[in-house]
Chains A and B, each alone.
Chain A
Amino acid sequence: MIETLQIIRNRLSQRPDELKKARESGVKVLGWSGYNIPEEIIYALGIIPIRIAIGGDEKLVEVGARYISTRNCVYVRELLGLIDEGKDPYIKNIDVYAFDATCLQTFRTAELVEFYFKKDVFVLGVPRNFYWDEAKEYFINEAKDFTAKLEEKTGLTLDAGKLEDAIRLYNKTRETLIRIYAYQASRNNVITWDEVYEIIQAGYFLDRKEYLSLLEQTLDELITLQENSAVTEDENEVRLFISGSIIPPGDRKLINIIKKLGGRIVGDDLWSGIIPYLDLNIEEPTIAGVALGYLNRTPHGALPYLDLQSDRRLKKMFELIDEFNAQGVIYHTLRYCDPYTFKAKETKDVLAKRKIPFLEIHTEYAGSDIEAIRTRIEAFLEMIQNTTTLQYEKVSL
């Protein structure tokens, strides 16, 4: 394991106390969930942004189910359970919440947080079709309205210079993260996808300036390690791409099964993974510029496939599969996560045209399906090995 990852873990363990102290000195902390919340604006206002994302805890899911129907995904149910329980060190330190309406279940969660827990909640409207001019205008106005409401609530004012600085910081962060991400997919990798995933998610919580510095330190370490690396590549490895519903911190079920069975994840387009950081070009340092930058990214899965030929998500998926030389796609869907579940068949058909193997794993946080998932993934790995490599050549008796 790289040394900087340990430093990141240590810093994460100290972060809740730092937030507490910051709040005591009058700084506000905003907890957000979604895909299109423009963090640059929050940061530029002098508010500490924390991305709330946690999963994998069945007990919290049950607690959350007191507030929201079980026909909503476990991720949003757990989020409500987390807020109800109030023990999470980050949740304890949140002054205001922000959600975007990208996924309608998240939007519903926002309403429930406000209604049941009497929290200050800001909701950012998101268009259902990102391609129309009207959609751009709508989202710019939503971003402006979101900013104005935050200013009103906190008494802070957005400063143009600070926004420019924030955009610069976030651009540099994204650029560094993308460079780090490429290392995990290399043949003689010195860092795994799983470790990079952990680093990405550490960025939800750490101070953004310090996070960039830790990313730069990680990158330096990787450059040195890779140059001196004598890692032998495994010819039998199966390189996998992960897509579909969110896999937040705490939800280790699928990742652990894949790892245990010897599959190697080399890429993802998860909204808890690398995809939010890709293709985000902010052309002018204004609220409108930030909004347009977010709108021009790869859209979230909650938005429907309008045209399979031109859909940016599918295009991006192919691009990433090619870039990271993945041999198959594991498509993770959470029960009642309709946006991704309904797209599974279409995605499978599109991939099949290029003969890319596809496996949907439909699950939730309960452990009862671990063995069934294990069999599916093991069979998927065998299927790829049998058709792409001569696995039988290496057998020890």
Chain B
Amino acid sequence: MSNIIVTAGVDVGSLGTKTVIFADGKIIGSSIIPTGLDSTENGLKGLEIALQSVGLERQDLKFIVATGYGRILAPYANKTITEITCHARGAYFIHPQTRTIIDMGGQDCKAIRLDEDGNVTDFAMNDKCAAGTGRFLEVMDNVFKVKLEELGPLALQATKVLSVSSTCTVFAESETVSLLARGEKPENIIIGIHYAIANRINGMFARVGIESDLFFSGGVAKNLGMRKALEDVLNVKIVEPEQDPQLVGAIGAAVIAYDLYQRSEKNNDRDSSNHQKSA
């Protein structure tokens, strides 16, 4: 691998730590592990697993970019960059026609606008409340006694959409319990919850606007019920993901790491050529 530039992107999120290994313009390896208490350890462990999956070692990496909320504790990284920039870069790398991104992660949700070169031009994030995030769905799976990944398929089985008026996690939980007690079908309530989240996200888009193509990234993007609700509420078609949407931030980080390494190499070449000229 000595002539190939290998870089890594590590996205330490609130629920999952995602790592991508990137070599000469291609994603060659990845890992997703649950985030534990120690951000640094999570990042290192994620890196190790991803490297092992492609038979590489740490010293093979030329550059590492860390992102996600755990980026502030990433001594293994050459640079840290926000998840907003990384998701933009990752989505643009996967689908260059992307002009708008919804990134729904464990503890926040972002609406990001891009220009035709993939630069972020505007963004909005949800405020303090957990409503509209993966955490909201996590609370709900507990109410329905199902696994998180089962919520989406269950939502798609709904025969009608029940209105869940509140998008406050705590109030929505008690509202859901009331609907169940009234004898409503769980799947009809579950789709209602997804629409409640989508309505909240629609409000966030009022601040940044939507332009096609719309890319849906983050762990919640794997939820097909959420996709459907968003497409209905936002009245726009979401791009079919060619990569695991949970990896988009890490992909962006790895691509940026690759660019940064190449540019630094160019600078080094230019500096040494200038030095030789002046000598």
Beta-carbon contact of B263 and A395 below 8 Å: yes
**Complex Cα gap A396–B69 (Å):** 23
Partner of B85, one of A362, A379, A397: A379
Within 8 A of A (CB), among B109-139: 115, 119-123, 125, 127-128
Within 8 A of B (CB), among A249-273: none
Contacts of A383 in B (CB 8 A): 84-85, 119-121, 123
Beta-carbon contact of B207 and A392 below 8 Å: no
Given contact pairs A345-B207, A375-B84, A382-B84, A397 touches B125 in the complex (Cβ within 8 A): no
Partner of B120, one of A360, A382, A394: A382
What's the least CB distance linking A178 to chain B, in Å?
Answer: 33
0/1 string, A354-396, CB within 8 A of B gives 1: 0001001010000011011001101100110011000011111
What's the least CB distance linking B114 to chain A, in Å?
Answer: 10
Beta-carbon contact of A392 and B259 below 8 Å: yes
**Complex Cα gap A372–B108 (Å):** 9
Contacts of B63 in A (CB 8 A): 397
- Whether B81 sits at the interface, judged by CB under 8 Å, is yes
- Whether B173 sits at the interface, judged by CB under 8 Å, is no
0/1 string, B249-279, CB within 8 A of A gives 1: 0000000000111011001000000000000
Partner of A375, one of B83, B115, B121: B83
Beta-carbon contact of B84 and A395 below 8 Å: no
Partner of A369, one of B81, B122, B128, B263: B128
Chain A minimum-CB-distance residue to B267: A393
Beta-carbon contact of B82 and A382 below 8 Å: yes
Beta-carbon contact of A393 and B119 below 8 Å: no
What's the least CB distance linking B64 to chain A, in Å?
Answer: 11
Chain B minimum-CB-distance residue to A397: B264
0/1 string, A211-226, CB within 8 A of B gives 1: 0000000000000000
Partner of B82, one of A345, A368, A375, A387: A375
What's the least CB distance linking B51 to chain A, in Å?
Answer: 19
What's the least CB distance linking A345 to chain B, in Å?
Answer: 7
Chain B minimum-CB-distance residue to A385: B85
**Complex Cα gap A111–B207 (Å):** 36
**Complex Cα gap A369–B107 (Å):** 12
What's the least CB distance linking B112 to chain A, in Å?
Answer: 9
- Whether B78 sits at the interface, judged by CB under 8 Å, is yes
Contacts of A382 in B (CB 8 A): 81-82, 84-85, 120
Contacts of B115 in A (CB 8 A): 387
- Whether B79 sits at the interface, judged by CB under 8 Å, is yes
**Complex Cα gap A393–B262 (Å):** 10
**Complex Cα gap A372–B123 (Å):** 13
What's the least CB distance linking A368 to chain B, in Å?
Answer: 6
**Complex Cα gap A357–B63 (Å):** 30
Contacts of A368 in B (CB 8 A): 128
Within 8 A of B (CB), among A325-350: 345, 348
Residues of B at the A interface (CB closer than 8 Å) are 63, 69, 78-79, 81-85, 108, 115, 119-123, 125, 127-128, 207, 259-261, 263-264, 267
* 13 A-B contact pairs sorted by A residue (CB < 8 Å): A369-B128, A372-B125, A372-B128, A376-B84, A379-B83, A382-B120, A383-B85, A383-B119, A386-B119, A386-B120, A392-B260, A392-B263, A397-B264
Known A372-B128, A397-B78; further 5 A-B contacts with Cβ < 8 A: A371-B69, A375-B84, A376-B123, A379-B83, A392-B260
